[in-house]
Structure 1
Amino acid sequence: MSRLPEWPPSISHPELEHLTNLATTYALSHGLLYLPPHPPSGAPPPTQAPSSAIHAPFSIFPSPFPRTLFEKAQRLQRAYNSDGAEVGAGRVDEFTGELWKIWKSLRDEGIEQELQLGIFRSDYLLHASDESQPMLLKQVEFNTISSSFGALSERVSALHNYLYASTGYFNSSPYLKPENFPPNRTTAAVVEGLVAAHYAYGVKDARILFVVQAGERNVFDQRWLDYELLEKHGIHIIRQTLPELASSAHLSPTRSLLISDSPQSPPNATEISTIYFRAAYTPTDFPTPEHFSTRALLERSRATKCPSIQLQLAGGKMVQMALTKAGVLERFLNGDGDAQADGMFAFGEEEVREVRESWMGMWRLGDNPPAGSATPSGMERAAMNHANLVLKPQREGGGNNVYKSSILPFLETLPEREREAWIAMELIEPPVSVGGWLVRAGSTGSSATGPTGGGGAVKSDIVSELGIFGWALFGPGQVGGAAQTKDVAKNSETMMRTGEGGWLVRTKGRESDEGGVAVGFSVLDSVVLIDPN
């Protein structure tokens, strides 16, 4: 398939109003929610019970996606689960450098991560640079920390199924039928990894710790995981910020992580089995050295981290770039003789080829050729090809990249010492002629063609990004018990359990380079699968 159908389907003004009204009331009554924006001062409110909520941004129609490429993205996740569990990272920028120092300190102290849990999300765009050729699936990035919006995306899928069940989408498209709406069980899939880590820890009354940001607006996405853990598995959680943990967290003599009202009241402390980070991925989470000290204390505990610092570092752009070099990926997936002999991460040549085909070209801005070489430096290559590039730092959360025409002035002011912290990546070219009706709470309902009257729905040319969730629990010894283990790779020292099954779609206006929902660029979406003509 070289083109997607023209989208969205044509509907009348009253039909759009009706769909928008049904969708917003469904979102509000089914937990597809966000907390309202912070006050103009920008200061997040203190931790307190929320008194109001708004619906999360969403699309009215699911976005078209080739069925074969959707299935390929799901298939690739098994390799990425293993890949993410195995790679490491080096020193690059100041923030990442502080995390690296913590990991190096732990290594020098001889503290091993007994078990590690990765909840991963691999993000993709469709690439259609030549309409005479089939569309390709290209990876945007691989996330190893705070892979969010899984629970809310599952509810957007349910919303689109509801709109079809209640209206048939007014018979506006032959593609809109039940068999083209893939199932979405992201909440259960993510929780499955947390449950596996919790039971592998083996302490009956232990709890899972959610490390969160103060004033988190995306709290409902996290709460759905909390409810699933309690209602389906009887597992309790504790939610705390890094500043709260600075006074509440301490270690027992055996390195158990204990959470109490104060360090002076250990008899009332709760033991933690698993630390799930929904914070600690951005420099703003670490305004003082004490915040890094708290992270180090959590790392020193024997609780299973999701992710550990080294696994967080493995999600850095620099590591993803390094994997594209010849022979590096093969070392982790099928090139190591000992790994193959033990049945560990044994992927065939076809699977490795598919992973490589999902990547665009990447290089470091700090790359320098040997003296006398005619090969351009990383900076020179970026300057020469800036119109077709994006520059990415070691950051997560959206809003951090530099695109196309902004690259040259950025390079002119980039200090030499910071070049190692940036990579250049060839731009993915999404298919054209795809639009959608996007709804944000408080939207005025206007577009380039004038008021829509759709109760807040705005028509835009769109780009949709598909994220596939997976998880891996790994470390020395038995993981989760043989009876619980579905997919285990093992050798004499390591056990590993993995799982896949969840997905999300984030859709943005084509005019926007960035794509984060939390920072206001995108809406949550789902897919309608399209078969080749």
Structure 2
Amino acid sequence: MTSTTFDFAQWPPSLTDVQINALTQHATTYALSHGLTYLPPGATQPPSPSSTIHAPISLLPSPIPRSLFEQAQRLQSSYNILYAQVAMDDDFLDNVMGAVVGVGKADEFVGTLWRGWKAIRDEEIVQPLHLGLFRSDYLLHTGEGDGRISLKQVEFNTISSSFGPLSEKTAAMHRYLNALTNYFGVSPYFKSENFPPNDTTARLAEGLAEAHKAYGVPGAYILFVVQPNERNVFDQRWLEYELLEKHSIRVVRQTFEELATSAALDPDTRVLRLTVSPALSPLGSLSTLEVSTVYFRAGYVPSDYPTPTHYTTRFTLERSRAINCPTIPLQLAGGKKIQEFLTHPGVVERFMRDADVQSIGTATKDLRETWMSMWSLDDPDPPVVPSDYPLQRTMDEPRGTTAARALADSLVLKPQREGGGNNVYKQDIPPFLETLPAQDREAWIAMQLILPPQGLGSYLVRAGATSDPNGGNKVVRSETVSELGIFGWALFSRETGVRERGDAGWLVRTKGVESNEGGVAAGFSVLDSVVLVDG
């Protein structure tokens, strides 16, 4: 928590139309020149793209108090260790996320993943190592009532933590604009020392390279499991190029549908091998490649598994000797129900004690200070409501559901989903609860809303129609909310313990206040970066 003399309502500084047009031209040209790009919209994308558009971006970086930015960076190591410990606790995951007694009973997607993982455990797991490329997301919170601003966690991502490379390029773009124009002198904060470095691409590639090294076969490939017709392909390609250029590790990209026919396990060793076409083969002919590491940029939403074959393919990868990023238990550990359960008394303390973390009291206190109140809809005793507080209940519904209805204006409801567009907010909560089947309540959590600084704004730039006389770029000045993500990685097993890196770079996504959701790929946000301010 920090007190700050910075006035968020005065951001962004005023710019003239001439200045906005100049910055837009410099920013979009830089983005296109440096691979800060998307594939253009379309029903399908060709195997060999012939055009790109710049990613959605902000013209100015967003202000974040220096002390809170540094706090978020310090916390990442503790979060890496915490979620690694959760992923290695089979009994805990069975109880919270399982299909027998946990969330998997109410959520078919979670239940199917859990059942597949349980079957693999019963057979025998041949690769004990897990790799996590993580991102912890935060908002600034002004709800303390004393003018102080604190850092509050939105969620912790354990699968497909995207936009690392493009966030690095966005930060570089803002440094370039500052160096070129000094942003026309409109703010004293536009100094080089207030633009923190961001080397996310190298740090995330480092985590993948460490897993490849642990596998022990230098000539093996890293497999990127990707979605078909992926528009955010360049964010992934920059990791691929870093792995080849800095670590001499090759990458092969496949969808679940392609893997259904290309992937096979050695019946004795469970080595994962792919039969790939000449276009993907380094030999220019039909080849079989051994896989050291499986990096999932798909598989986090039910739509990634349209048929049972897609789940079977996921389980084949999990059964293999390749190191999965993430494993199914690590993906389950990122569920919203886990986030809520960790807030229960003694839970996070137990995991940090099991990890033999020094200064457990300090570590757990620092983590807990970033959490809002959360509870399950089937909770009999939600933490924000005193036990003697009268609630108008509907039939025999749980007190947690009644509390969510009564306090709806200050809440968000979250399912066990990633990727944006899944949550229910404020006034939409009561009618949603009326239609939610009782057996599905366990799959949802209620979370008190984080209250960002009001009046903060930005200039948001999205690529538009190429026939637009202004060059196809739409610039909107909007009141905004900015979300800070901190990256980290961990390579771990019960036998080796946890090796992790907490300082793996950062991301800022900015959206208009009228949008509840925050996903860039889902179309809600733009890529942004940080200018450090007082505090």
Q: Same fold (TM over 0.5)?
A: yes
Alignment check: 8 A CA contact 1:4 1:431 kept: no
Q: 2:214 aligns to what?
A: 200
- Secondary structure (helix, strand or coil) at the match of 2:189 reads coil
Instruction: Give deviations 1:132-172, integer Å, cap 9, x for gaps.
Output: 33100000000000000010000000000000111110001
- C-alpha separation between the residues in 1 aligned to 2:448 and 2:247? 44
What amino acid is aligned across from residue 496 of structure 1 in structure 2? V
Deviation of 1:236 (Å): 0.1
Structure 1 alignment gaps of length 5 or more: 447-451, 477-492
Residues 1:356 and 2:356 are matched in the alignment: no
Aligned in 2, Cα 1:453/1:295: closer, same or farther, shift over 3 Å? closer
- Secondary structure (helix, strand or coil) at the match of 1:260 reads strand
Q: 2:349 aligns to what?
A: 330
- C-alpha separation between the residues in 2 aligned to 1:521 and 1:402? 15
Q: 1:14 aligns to what?
A: 18
Aligned in 2, Cα 1:320/1:237: closer, same or farther, shift over 3 Å? same
Alignment check: 8 A CA contact 2:37 2:53 kept: yes
Alignment check: 8 A CA contact 2:135 2:485 kept: yes
- C-alpha separation between the residues in 2 aligned to 1:356 and 1:119? 22
Q: 2:439 aligns to what?
A: 417
Deviation of 1:38 (Å): 2.1
1:299 aligns with one of 318, 323, 331: 318
Aligned in 2, Cα 1:301/1:195: closer, same or farther, shift over 3 Å? same
Alignment check: 8 A CA contact 1:16 1:454 kept: no
Q: 1:471 aligns to what?
A: 489
What amino acid is aligned across from residue 370 of structure 2 in structure 1? S
Between 1:59-68 and 1:493-502, the stretch displaced more is 493-502
Deviation of 1:130 (Å): 4.6
- C-alpha separation between the residues in 2 aligned to 1:503 and 1:322? 26
Q: 2:401 aligns to what?
A: 379
Which runs of structure 2 are paired with 1:121-520 in the superposition (5 Å)? Answer: 121-130=135-144, 132-252=146-266, 253-261=268-276, 268-334=287-353, 336=354, 339-340=355-356, 345-368=357-380, 377-442=399-464, 456-476=474-494, 493-501=495-503, 502-520=505-523
CA RMSD, Structure 1 to Structure 2 (Å): 2.2
Q: 1:35 aligns to what?
A: 39
Alignment check: 8 A CA contact 1:117 1:305 kept: yes
- C-alpha separation between the residues in 1 aligned to 2:208 and 2:235? 15
Runs of 4+ in 1 over 4 A off after TM superposition: 373-376, 452-455
- C-alpha separation between the residues in 1 aligned to 2:127 and 2:411? 38
- Secondary structure (helix, strand or coil) at the match of 1:469 reads strand
Alignment check: 8 A CA contact 2:134 2:159 kept: yes
- Secondary structure (helix, strand or coil) at the match of 2:502 reads strand
- Secondary structure (helix, strand or coil) at the match of 1:76 reads helix
Alignment check: 8 A CA contact 2:490 2:500 kept: yes
Alignment check: 8 A CA contact 2:57 2:461 kept: yes
Q: 1:483 aligns to what?
A: none
Deviation of 1:495 (Å): 2.9
Aligned in 2, Cα 1:455/1:318: closer, same or farther, shift over 3 Å? closer
Deviation of 1:108 (Å): 1.1
- C-alpha separation between the residues in 2 aligned to 1:240 and 1:296? 15
Alignment check: 8 A CA contact 1:211 1:278 kept: yes
Alignment check: 8 A CA contact 1:37 1:217 kept: yes
- Secondary structure (helix, strand or coil) at the match of 1:27 reads helix
What amino acid is aligned across from residue 526 of structure 2 in structure 1? V
Alignment check: 8 A CA contact 1:189 1:500 kept: no
Deviation of 1:455 (Å): 5.3
Aligned in 2, Cα 1:15/1:302: closer, same or farther, shift over 3 Å? same
Q: 1:522 aligns to what?
A: 525
- Secondary structure (helix, strand or coil) at the match of 1:87 reads helix
Instruction: Give deviations 1:464-495, integer Å, cap 9, x for gaps.
Output: 0000000000125xxxxxxxxxxxxxxxx333
Alignment check: 8 A CA contact 1:122 1:467 kept: yes
Between 1:97-106 and 1:80-89, the stretch displaced more is 80-89
How many residues align? The count is 494
- C-alpha separation between the residues in 2 aligned to 1:303 and 1:378? 42
- C-alpha separation between the residues in 2 aligned to 1:360 and 1:130? 12
Deviation of 1:86 (Å): 1.2
Q: 1:485 aligns to what?
A: none
- Secondary structure (helix, strand or coil) at the match of 2:499 reads strand
Alignment check: 8 A CA contact 1:443 1:457 kept: no
2:117 aligns with one of 78, 81, 103: 103
Instruction: Give deviations 1:433-479, integer Å, cap 9, x for gaps.
Output: 211000000189x9xxxxx9995221000100000000000125xxx
1:119 aligns with one of 121, 129, 133: 133
Q: 1:484 aligns to what?
A: none
Alignment check: 8 A CA contact 2:138 2:485 kept: yes
Residues 1:52 and 2:51 are matched in the alignment: yes
Aligned in 2, Cα 1:304/1:398: closer, same or farther, shift over 3 Å? same
- Secondary structure (helix, strand or coil) at the match of 2:170 reads helix
- C-alpha separation between the residues in 2 aligned to 1:63 and 1:456? 19
Q: TM-score, normalised by structure 2?
A: 0.89
What amino acid is aligned across from residue 30 of structure 1 in structure 2? H
- Secondary structure (helix, strand or coil) at the match of 1:419 reads helix
Alignment check: 8 A CA contact 2:274 2:289 kept: yes
Alignment check: 8 A CA contact 2:462 2:473 kept: no
What amino acid is aligned across from residue 59 of structure 1 in structure 2? S
- Secondary structure (helix, strand or coil) at the match of 1:271 reads strand
- C-alpha separation between the residues in 1 aligned to 2:7 and 2:381? 42
Instruction: Give deviations 1:308-327, integer Å, cap 9, x for gaps.
Output: 00000000000111000000
Structure 2 alignment gaps of length 5 or more: 88-92, 278-284, 390-397
Q: 1:490 aligns to what?
A: none
Alignment check: 8 A CA contact 2:84 2:498 kept: no
Deviation of 1:333 (Å): 1.2
Alignment check: 8 A CA contact 2:492 2:499 kept: yes
- Secondary structure (helix, strand or coil) at the match of 2:463 reads coil
What amino acid is aligned across from residue 147 of structure 2 in structure 1? Q
Between 1:403-412 and 1:453-462, the stretch displaced more is 453-462
- C-alpha separation between the residues in 2 aligned to 1:461 and 1:496? 42
Between 1:523-532 and 1:137-146, the stretch displaced more is 523-532
Instruction: Give deviations 1:470-525, integer Å, cap 9, x for gaps.
Output: 0000125xxxxxxxxxxxxxxxx333211132100000001111110001000000
- Secondary structure (helix, strand or coil) at the match of 1:108 reads helix
- Secondary structure (helix, strand or coil) at the match of 2:138 reads strand
What amino acid is aligned across from residue 127 of structure 1 in structure 2? H
